[in-house]
Amino acid sequence: MTDNYDIAEFKNPLFTVDSVLFTVTDGELKVLLVKRASEPFTGQWALPGGFIDMDVDHDADMTALRKLKEKTNVTPQYLEQLHTYSGLERDPRGFSVTLVYFALTAQMNTSTHITTVDDAQWIDVGKLKTLSVAFDHKYIIEQARQRLKQKALYSMVPIYCLPEHFTVGQFKSVIETIIGKTVQRKSIIRRIEAADMLEKMDEKVKSGGRFAQLYRVKSGVDIVNFERNLSV
Amino acid sequence: MTDNYDIAEFKNPLFTVDSVLFTVTDGELKVLLVKRASEPFTGQWALPGGFIDMDVDHDADMTALRKLKEKTNVTPQYLEQLHTYSGLERDPRGFSVTLVYFALTAQMNTSTHITTVDDAQWIDVGKLKTLSVAFDHKYIIEQARQRLKQKALYSMVPIYCLPEHFTVGQFKSVIETIIGKTVQRKSIIRRIEAADMLEKMDEKVKSGGRFAQLYRVKSGVDIVNFERNLSV
DNA sequence: AAATGTTTGTGTCTTAACGACACAAAGAAT
DNA sequence: ATTCTTTGTGTCGTTAAGACACAAACATTT
């Protein structure tokens, strides 16, 4: 692992932890960005993140969660590592290493805090092309988007973009905006049955036509992966 | 991404890059470990790796490759990030962050150099339980193993454990040792056809019975993923 | 030379899960 | 009462993997 260097005297690269937090609202995939308050890229949109605080963070996961909470008041329902980006050119201050997380949440968790604040905002991923984004964060968001799409094809992960109680129609809609293609409701229902992650509430909710069954995630279950992808 | 800290004065965690390099020989999955020459864990087996040298490494990928080359004279045929491990307890010197890569190679590349050297060795992953390994590297190797197993179920990745020319039987055998279960040769052949990554050589090779067709990877092709897993 | 054994390669039937689509069920609006 | 909309179910078709039989090709034995 390491050679015989003393910690204090070794020249470490700049190390940060960022998060790509997605949600789905109004049929659009949105990513949470914050406005940079300091150099470099002051005033531009960037991924929420920062430095590890070794006194309070048990590990990097905690850094990611803490920074999301501090900057945007959001606690994501799903969090996993995306990738670690490194190199000389990605930060004008010098060689940098950034551990990037991939996170999901229902939009509810945040609306109160975020929509009123000017320096943190949900941005439609589709409108990102014309937006100026700090560092290589636009590229990173695109990578995260690909990861989310793949996960939507073979896992139940998109449920973490939904509120506590939700219908098959909402689940289907979230999946469709993520993968950019319609899917059969039948396929969704089959997967819900097979995964055995959800339980029906004794409640139904109006939805324009016949009332829709409400579901919620069973307590203590892990995310389920399928052995076959939905069609691309 | 970052707050308004000066690079020089910020207290960064200890950052290292390690690699879990696998190969398959004699029906066994093996991982390349090196004997530690310095504290902590002197004399114990550990993953090959070290610090980023910002003067020569363009990014962390290059650090991983350079360290593998330096310590074991191996250039892997496949390299991707596994995970970044962080925390206070994993290194007695303090809070540490380790970016771990996942790599594959045919055993050929290394045999000349490694088998003669005492401080780098291919270790049978099955015999790892009874071996003392530095840091949390035993746990990391297990995570890498799970990743390799998953990849073997849905991708052509195991070809990178094979020499340049190989037969369906060898490919089948590698997959079987990785996933710990026999598979149908027919399934392998179907996947080779569908992936269109391999080309037949005009050469066949003896194999105990009927001569076996030799294959090699077409030049310039990317790794192919399938939309369905092999059975577990 | 013939028989046996071993591994490779092919043909084909079965199985599992998704796609497509029709249709019934349940509510709202006209 | 009729129509519209969304939910939920039943069923057939499609696709790719599993199982398995069998032919092909080579080595070894008799």
Residue B46, helix vs strand vs coil = strand
Query: Does B188 contact strand C, using a CB cutoff of 7 Å?
Result: no
What string of H, E and C letters represents the secondary structure of chain A?
A: CCCCCCCCCCCCCEEEEEEEEEEEECCEEEEEEEECCCCCCCCCEECCEECCCCCCCCCHHHHHHHHHHHHHCCCCCEEEEEEEEEECCCCCCCCEEEEEEEEECCCHHHHHHHCCCCCEEEEEHHHCCCCCECCCHHHHHHHHHHHHHHHHHHECHHHHHCCCCECHHHHHHHHHHHHCCCCCHHHHHHHHHHHCCEEEEEEEECCCCCCEEEEEECCCCCCCECCECCCC
Q: Is the pLDDT of residue B78 over 90?
A: yes
The reply to whether A11 touches chain B by the CB within 8 Å rule is: yes
Q: Do A80 and A102 touch, CB atoms closer than 8 A?
A: yes
For the stretch B213-221, contacts whose Cβ atoms lie closer than 8 Å and that sit 24 or more positions apart, written own/partner, are B213/B167, B213/B168, B214/B165, B214/B166, B214/B167, B215/B165, B215/B166, B215/B167, B215/B168, B215/B171, B216/B164, B216/B165, B216/B166, B217/B159, B217/B164, B221/B196, B221/B197
Residue ranges of B 212-231 with Cβ closer than 8 A to chain A: 227-229, 231
B49, B16 contact by CB (below 8 A) = yes
Answer yes or no: is A189 CB < 7 A from strand D.
yes
| Nucleotide D6: closest residue by CA–C1' | A209
Q: What is the mean pLDDT of residues B188-200?
A: 98
Per-residue pLDDT of chain A (232 residues; tens, 9 = 90+): 444 444 444 578 999 999 999 999 999 999 999 999 888 999 999 999 999 999 999 999 999 999 999 998 999 999 999 999 999 999 999 999 999 999 999 986 555 555 555 789 999 999 999 999 999 999 999 999 999 999 999 999 999 999 999 999 999 999 999 999 999 999 999 999 999 999 999 999 999 999 999 999 999 999 999 999 999 8
- Phi/psi at B159 (5° precision): -60, -25
Does the beta-carbon distance from A86 to B18 stay under 8 Å? no
Testing the interface with B: which of A1, A45, A232 to mutate, by most B Cβ within 10 A? A1
Proximity of residue B225 CB to strand D below 7 A: no
pLDDT of residue A87: 97
Closest-CA residue to A49 (of A108, A134, A127, A145): A134
What is the C-alpha to C-alpha distance for residues B18 and B34, in angstroms, rounded to an integer?
11
Query: What pLDDT score does B79 carry?
Result: 98
Higher per-residue pLDDT: B174 or A39: B174
pTM more than 0.85: yes
Name the residue with the least CA to C1' distance from nucleotide C25: A210
Local confidence band at B51 (pLDDT 50, 70, 90 cut-offs): very high
Residue B85 and residue B62: Cα distance in Å, rounded? 19
Closest-CA distance, A212 to chain B, in angstroms, reads: 31
Note the strand D nucleotides within 7 A of protein beta carbons.
Answer: 4-11, 16-21, 24-27
Distance from CA of A92 to the nearest CA of B (A): 11
Does A36 reach chain B within 8 Å, measured CB to CB?
yes
Which pLDDT value is given to residue A12?
81
Report which DSSP code applies to B48. S
**Residues in A touching B95 (Cβ below 8 Å):** 52, 54
B 76-95: CB under 8 A from A: 81, 83-84, 86-88, 91, 93-95
**pLDDT band for position B119 (cuts 50, 70, 90):** confident
Q: Using the predicted structure, report yes or no on whether residue B2 has a pLDDT greater than 50.
A: no
B49 in contact with chain A, both atoms CB, cutoff 8 A: yes
Q: Beta-carbon neighbour count of residue A143 at 10 Å?
A: 16
pLDDT for B7 equals: 44
Query: Token pair of A29, please?
Result: 């995939």
- Residue A135 touches chain B, beta carbons under 8 Å: yes
Other beta carbons less than 10 A from residue B187's beta carbon? 13
Q: How far is CA A25 from CA A7, A65, A94, in A?
A: 46, 22, 37
A to B CB pairs, distance under 8 Å: 133
d(CA B55, CA B36) in angstroms, rounded, equals 24
Closest partner residue to A98 among B1, B5, B58, by Cβ? Answer: B1
Residue A206 CB in 7 A reach of strand D? no
The separation, in Å, between residue B210 CA and nucleotide D25 C1' comes to: 4
Confidence band, pLDDT 50/70/90 cuts, at residue B162: very high
Please tell me which residue lies nearest to nucleotide C27, judged from CA to C1': A210
User: What is the spatial distance between Cα B19 and Cα B46, in angstroms, rounded to a whole number?
Assistant: 10
Tell me the CA–C1' distance in angstroms for B123 and D26. 36
pLDDT score for A39:
86
Q: Is B97 on the interface with A (CB under 8 A)?
A: yes
Distance, in Å, from the CA atom of B147 to the CA atom of B151, rounded to the nearest integer, reads 6
Q: Which residues of B touch A97 (CB under 8 A)?
A: 15, 52, 60, 99
The confidence band for B12, taking pLDDT boundaries of 50, 70 and 90, is: confident
